[in-house]
Amino acid sequence: MTAYEDILYTVKDKIAVITLNRPDKLNAWTAPMQASVKRAIVDASKDDNVRVILVTGAGRGFCAGADMGNLQQIKPGKWDDRELARADNDVKVEPSNLGPDVSGHYGGRFGYLMSIRKPIIAAINGPCAGIGLVFTLYCDLRFASADAKFTTAFAQRGLIAEHGISWLLPRLVGTAHALDLLFSARKFTADEAQRIGLVNRAFAPEHFMANVTEYARGLADTVSPRAMAVMKAQVWKALYQDLNDAIAVGDAEMQKSFSTEDFKEGVAHFVEKRPAKFTGR
């Protein structure tokens, strides 16, 4: 068993749950947390017992952003050195033959999430700020507790749109909403986050994790893991393609799907009116 720091990692019912675990600091982001999150996600991607990856926070928050003690230690002119020396650089994502390769398009601190061929869900259970918010944008889906609060935070710290949020945020909420959230660094609610498309859905706090887990279990139990893997790669690749390229990739991948076990099972369980037993092959 791999050791993790500042997180908890469990697997149950084909769902890997990664919990940011510094509740006394509202799960403020640290270098050990970053390395552990990446290691846990890569471990989950290689585990045949895992079909969905869920990331949440311990206690009353998701992530309050970067640990302020670490921010105070940053020295001008040393940012590149710090990035090159990141503790998670030795954790590698193995290439997959499912769907088009996207690794060349998504680099930086969190781009590896796009290369993971399993759905990654951010379960935002409370305050979500700064780098914590950035991390969720790299996840495939985002669900929020109705009482969660969000902020980009950067402008109020004299900082800029970091780690690719200037590319991701406008694609989720549009340019005007993105600039509003970045310029003002104002706090906004889960209701607004859902309305502008930042989160897929907001759930009542008392049923939040139950609802998110129910959704994740639906993915784990009722749909083809192979289909999800290919579709995830298709969608992230398509942001760099024109329509004709996306059609060509889709046609080629559909042809491959016809010869898989999951396709045969997909037809069989529908005809036989029984629960699916997908293998991912």
Q: Which CATH number do you get for residue 267?
A: 1.10.12
Q: Residue 28's pLDDT is what?
A: 96
Number of domains in the chain: 2
Alpha helices by DSSP H, listed for the chain, are 31-46, 68-72, 79-84, 130-138, 165-173, 175-184, 190-195, 208-222, 225-238, 243-257, 261-271
User: For tokens 């099972």, what's the residue?
Assistant: 265
| Cα gap 118→101, rounded to integer Å | 14
Whether 150 and 194 map to the same domain: the answer is yes
Whether residue 278 is contained in a domain is answered as: no
Whether residue 68 is contained in a domain is answered as: yes
Whether residue 281 is contained in a domain is answered as: no
User: For tokens 């050195």, what's the residue?
Assistant: 81
Q: Residue 69's pLDDT is what?
A: 62
| Cα gap 1→36, rounded to integer Å | 13
Task: State which residues form the domain around 43.
Answer: 7-220
Whether residue 242 is contained in a domain is answered as: yes
User: For tokens 């999951």, what's the residue?
Assistant: 262
Whether 97 and 191 map to the same domain: the answer is yes
Whether 147 and 16 map to the same domain: the answer is yes
Q: Which CATH number do you get for residue 112?
A: 3.90.226.10
| Sign of the CA dihedral with 188 first, then 191, 192, and 197 last | positive
Whether residue 139 is contained in a domain is answered as: yes
The last residue of a domain, from among 220, 237, 260: 220
Number of residues that this document lists for the chain: 281
Complete edge-to-edge strand list for the sheet that includes strand 15-20: 7-12, 15-20, 52-57, 120-124, 141-145, 201-203
User: For tokens 């629960």, what's the residue?
Assistant: 275
Whether 164 and 49 map to the same domain: the answer is yes
Whether 182 and 232 map to the same domain: the answer is no
| Cα gap 210→52, rounded to integer Å | 15
Whether 238 and 214 map to the same domain: the answer is no
Q: Which residues pair with 19 in a beta bridge?
A: 8, 56
Whether 216 and 238 map to the same domain: the answer is no
Whether 153 and 213 map to the same domain: the answer is yes
Whether 180 and 248 map to the same domain: the answer is no
Whether residue 208 is contained in a domain is answered as: yes
Q: Residue 76's pLDDT is what?
A: 62
Q: Secondary structure of 57-87 in the HEC alphabet? A: ECCCCCECCECHHHHHCCCCCCHHHHHHCCC
Q: Residue 3's pLDDT is what?
A: 81
Whether 190 and 236 map to the same domain: the answer is no
| Cα gap 65→220, rounded to integer Å | 30
Whether residue 2 is contained in a domain is answered as: no
pLDDT, one tens digit for every residue, the chain (281 residues): 458 999 999 999 999 999 999 999 999 999 999 999 999 999 999 999 999 999 999 999 999 998 866 554 555 665 555 555 567 888 889 889 999 999 999 999 999 999 999 999 999 999 999 999 999 999 999 999 999 999 999 999 899 889 999 999 999 999 999 999 999 999 999 999 999 999 999 999 999 999 999 999 999 999 999 999 999 999 999 999 999 999 999 999 999 999 999 999 999 999 999 999 999 89
Whether 137 and 254 map to the same domain: the answer is no
Q: Residue 51's pLDDT is what?
A: 98
pTM attached to this predicted model: 0.92
The last residue of a domain, from among 220, 238, 263: 220
Whether 160 and 236 map to the same domain: the answer is no
Q: Residue 75's pLDDT is what?
A: 57
User: Token pair for residue 167?
Assistant: 């590319």
